Amino acid sequence: MNRAQRGAAGSRGLGTMEVKSKFGAEFRRFSLERSKPGKFEEFYGLLQHVHKIPNVDVLVGYTDIHGDLLPINNDDNYHKAVSTANPLLRIFIQRKEDADYSAFGTDTMTRKKNVLSNVLRPDNHKKKPHIVISMPQDFRPVSSIIDVDILPETHRRVRLYKYGTDKPLGFYIRDGSSVRVTPHGLEKVPGIFISRLVPGGLAQSTGLLAVNDEVLEVNGIEVSGKSLDQVTDMMIANSRNLIITVRPANQRNNVVRNSRTSGSSGQSTESSLPSSTPNILGSLLQGEEESDEEDIIIEDSGEPQQIPKAAPTSESIESLSQIELLHEPTQNGFLPSSEMNLNHSAGSISMEYEVPEQGQKSLEEDGTIITL
């Protein structure tokens, strides 16, 4: 039945497209010529007209196919909105003065439900100075380099965000061998390498991964000693929030950091690996939290809903929030974050190592909840 409707809309959609616009509590419905959407300014005028708010400055947003609220503020994103609307273009209008910029961006539709993150990010509710262009929230992140501050310069930790099914992750891995510096001199050890990038795939489009990069960790778990199949399974199991630490084959594009002493670059990869382990927890916690909300339940053939978490005890919430707070930098990691993370002092880093473990321990003993 659903399909029939969609089909009908499709045939009609060749000519016109339905628009549902919301301002405050009011809805307006009108139609647009899909083939000739016109310019953004005309559309902006039209919206002001239909809502009868001719002199109010507003921000215009729409929900895209993934359910994210994205802004319309120029011709390009206006045309994008029109071309992807199917079958209906949902428009949300806010007054500029009381606009909530954080409403835009990834997971905006689901984030609202996440009480924890709202509590933990009080700044979400504050108004921010208005910059129309280059708001990070205006874009959906597809990848980011994270943990730059704690990884050796020769390594890169890349996070890939997988949305929907339109774009494949698009890479292959293979067995190989790499040379390591060990106490016994140079040693050849087996390793896992990226063997191929699918053209047009997510991995290729990020530009952060390349053929022959050595994979060192998958979501914080070291891959050494694991077989190709094991690593494949780990990556697929984490595919919704995949964090891979690689040693790029091309070491020329590495971020050069001043905060490190010159001795650090001389460190062998082995000595630096343990230091990166504690942070694993951070990445993982985050990853698990996200995927936790994703299972879906349909009760009595009703509407699909996300499965909530069973209410944790208050103690656990405390420890949870502790961790979350401490990891806020990485929580926001989808910002091109090298800048942000560079601001960290060494002191705060060491804190990061210890406290999460404590929090974790208390969880272990508590034994009532380990949903992380």
Partner 1 sequence: MRRFLRPGHDPVRERLKRDLFQFNKTVEHGFPHQPSALGYSPFLRLMAIGTRSGAIKLYGAPGVEFMGLHEENNTVMQIHFIPDQCQLVTLLDDNSLHLWSLKQHGGASELREEHRFTLKGPPGSPPSATQVTAVLPHSSREVLYLGTESGNIFVVELPSLRVLEDRTITPEAVLQRIPEDNCNRRSCELVEALQEHPKNPDQILIGYSRGLIVLWDLQNNKATQHFLGSQQLENLYWQRDGSKFISCHYDGSYTQWPVSSDNRQSEPLENTVPYGPFPCKAISKIYWQTTKNGLPYIIFQGGMPRASYGDRHSISVIHGSQQTAFDFTSRVIDFFIIFSSDPAAEFDDPSALVALAEEELVVIDLKSAGWPAVHPPYLASLHCSAITCSHHVSNIPLKLWERIISAGSKQNIHYSSMPWPIDGGTNIAPDPPQRDLLLTGHEDGTVRFWDASGVCLHLLYKLSTVRVFLTDADPNDNMNTLGEDEWPPLRKVGTFDPYSDDPRLGIQKIYLCKYSGYLAVAGTAGQVLVMELNDEDAEHVVDHAEADLLQDQEGYRWKGHEKLKTRDGPVRFEAGFQPFVLVQCQPPAVVTSLALHSEWRLVAFGTSHGFGLFDHQQKRLVFVKCTLHPSDQLALEGPLSRVKSLKKSLRQSFRRIRRSRVSSRKRRGAGGNASEVQEANAKFDQDALQEMELAPVQRKIEARSAEDSFTGFVRTLYFADTFLRDSSRHCPSLWAGTNGGTVYAFCLRVPPAERRMDEPVRAEQAKEIQLMHRAPVVGILVLDGRSTPLPEPLEVAHDLSKSPDMQGSHQLLVVSEEQFKVFTLPKVSSKLKLKLTALEGCRVRKVTVASFGSCKTDDYSENDLAVLTNLGDIQIISLPFLKLQIRYPCIRKEDVSGIASCVFTKYGQGFYLISPSEFERFSLSTKWLVEPRCIVDMPEVTSNNHVHNKSGPENAARKSRESGKGPDDCGEDERKSGRLMEHALLNDEKVLKEIQSTLEGGR
48 or 143, CB closer to partner 1? 143
254 or 291, CB closer to partner 1? 291
Regarding 102 and contact with partner 1 (CB under 8 A), the answer is no
Regarding 181 and contact with partner 1 (CB under 8 A), the answer is no
Regarding 43 and contact with partner 1 (CB under 8 A), the answer is no
Regarding 315 and contact with partner 1 (CB under 8 A), the answer is no
Asked if residue 251 lies in contact with residue 114, where contact means CB atoms within 8 angstroms, the answer is: no
Contact segment (CB under 8 A) with partner 1 among 8-16, 75-83, 104-112, 172-180 equals 172-180
Regarding 110 and contact with partner 1 (CB under 8 A), the answer is no
40 or 171, CB closer to partner 1? 171
3-state secondary structure of 6: helix
The site map against partner 1 for 126-165 (x = CB under 8 A) is: ------------------------------------x--x
CA distance 93 to 60: 5
HEC assignment per residue over 174-200: EEEEEEEEECCEEEEEEEEEEEEECCC
Residue 259 CB neighbour total at 10 angstroms = 11
Residue 82 CB neighbour total at 10 angstroms = 21
The site map against partner 1 for 240-259 (x = CB under 8 A) is: x-------------------
Regarding 178 and contact with partner 1 (CB under 8 A), the answer is no
CA distance 189 to 359: 36
Smallest CA-to-CA distance from 216 within 238, 195, 231 is with 231
**Binder to partner 1 among 86, 259, 268, 371 (CB under 8 A)?**
371
What is the residue whose two structure tokens read 């050595």? 214
Contact segment (CB under 8 A) with partner 1 among 71-79, 92-100, 171-179, 250-258 equals 171-179
Regarding 175 and contact with partner 1 (CB under 8 A), the answer is yes
CA distance 235 to 201: 16
CA distance 32 to 43: 10
What is the residue whose two structure tokens read 């670059």? 265
Regarding 310 and contact with partner 1 (CB under 8 A), the answer is yes
| Pairing, β 16-23 against β 88-95 | parallel
Regarding 292 and contact with partner 1 (CB under 8 A), the answer is yes
**Closest distance between partner 1 and the C-beta of residue 163, in Å?**
10
200: left (phi over 0), alpha (psi -120 to 50) or beta: left
Q: What is the DSSP string of 73-106?
A: -SHHHHHHHHHH--SEEEEEEEESTT--GGGSBT
**Closest distance between partner 1 and the C-beta of residue 219, in Å?**
6
Regarding 113 and contact with partner 1 (CB under 8 A), the answer is no
Per rule CB under 8 A, count of chain residues that contact partner 1: 61
- The neighbouring-strand residues paired with 210 are none
Which parts of 185-214 interact with partner 1 (CB under 8 A)?
195-196, 203
Regarding 111 and contact with partner 1 (CB under 8 A), the answer is no
Give residues in contact with partner 1 (CB under 8 A). 162, 165, 168-176, 195-196, 203, 219-221, 223, 226-240, 277, 280-281, 284, 288, 291-292, 294-301, 304, 307-310, 357, 360-361, 364, 367, 369-371
